[in-house]
Amino acid sequence: MPATITSIPYCQKHQLDPNPTAHIETSSLEYLHTAFLLYEYKTTYSKKEYRTLLDTYGWDKGSCEEKRAIRIAENFQEFSTCPQHLAPIPVTILLRLCSLQYKSIISQLQDYPIGGLTCELVLELIEERKALLKTQKQEQQKQISIWRRTPRGDRYCQFPPQYEEDHQTGVLTQELIDGYGLLPQQILREAIADYHARIKSQEKEQPQEETAESEVVVVESGMLPQEEISPTEREKAIEVNSRLKQNEQPSTSNATEQQPVGGEVLMLAEKLKSATSYYQIRNAIYRHLAVKEEAWKQLSPEEQLRIERLLPQEVLALKTARKSGLIIDYYELENGWFQVFIPGEDKPVSVSKLNVISWLQEQESLNYVTT
């Protein structure tokens, strides 16, 4: 039976390589050439000369395509000398990496040798970054602080509105105001003081087991190698740690029943046991953020101590500051900065890794003055 047109394979009909991966990688490389050429022309010539040059080359792809290509070139300038390194990544994913949300991944791609970068690897980095951002958002939403600051820097507490079906709090407060001439602030102050005293009294009557809260640093991800710390910075870190530890309060918690250990928990625990550098610790936790607390509990005190010794002085200082209450929490970003949550502020404060020690000293001084 003679072959019909529809029975002839597409690759034979057009005399093409049957491998679609090869075609899309060639397409990505050609688009990168276009992007870097347009960027070079745009930054070299005047606006009028640039438009004239495009007309000479017969550019009729529209301004949107032009802007999209230039955007890729702007964000991937480090690869302009070797665009074939990015050939395995489709254009749509390259554009996704240009977004503010995933731009930090671009610097990580430079760590891979030519030929070692794959689209699958990039997609994994995107998913890890997405998981980290989601975790950070959830943690930020959990933080509740009543502290505010005036424009002059004075601290005060502010409670959120009280919504109740029976309006009990408002009714009773108004009765005290009308009947006894008390101020709302005075009522609130004395009520909280009484409640606080009652809670403390109950704690003394029912002693609880003390547990030392230990937590491995959260990675926002940059996976940068640990930098050398000067003797001066190390001395400052030790000084800050020693002063902050004096203010630490032992945490107490009721004994809880042992829960079954999941596979992911054991996997992270094994990775932490075998880690020999801060880079490996961050990488392991970054992939298993949801179970880091449970995995940490699976380690022996000796293993926990060994891992903590691998942490940089900046991280140790922040951990100590968090335990002492000087800060609420912190996250390490991929660009070498920290997002630090402090009492009285709704938004985190950005602190450079190089300035963490001196910044904590300033916060300690401010906290001493305000209290």
pLDDT, tens digit, for every residue of 279-302?
778 777 767 777 888 888 899 999
The conformational region for residue 235 under phi > 0 = left, psi -120 to 50 = alpha, else beta, is alpha
Which residue from 209, 208, 191, 221 is spatially nearest to 338, judged by alpha carbons? Answer: 221
What distance in Å separates the CA atoms of residue 307 and residue 290, rounded to the nearest whole number?
19
On the question of pLDDT at 240 being above 60, the answer is no
Give the pLDDT score at 211.
39
Segment 82-101 shows an average pLDDT of 92
For residue 330, list its beta bridge partners.
Answer: 340
Contact 129, 102 (CB under 8 A): yes
What distance in Å separates the CA atoms of residue 87 and residue 24, rounded to the nearest whole number?
8
Using pLDDT thresholds of 50, 70 and 90, give the confidence band for residue 217: very low
pLDDT tens for 122-172 read 999 999 999 888 888 777 666 667 888 887 778 888 888 888 878 888 889
On the question of pLDDT at 226 being above 60, the answer is no
pLDDT tens for 175-199 read 888 888 888 888 888 888 888 887 8
State pTM to two decimals.
0.40
Segment 28-44 shows an average pLDDT of 93
- Exposure string for 76-90, b = 16+ CB within 10 A, e = fewer: beebeeebebbbbbb
The residues, ordered by sequence, that sit 6+ positions from 96 with a Cβ below 8 Å of its Cβ are: 102, 126
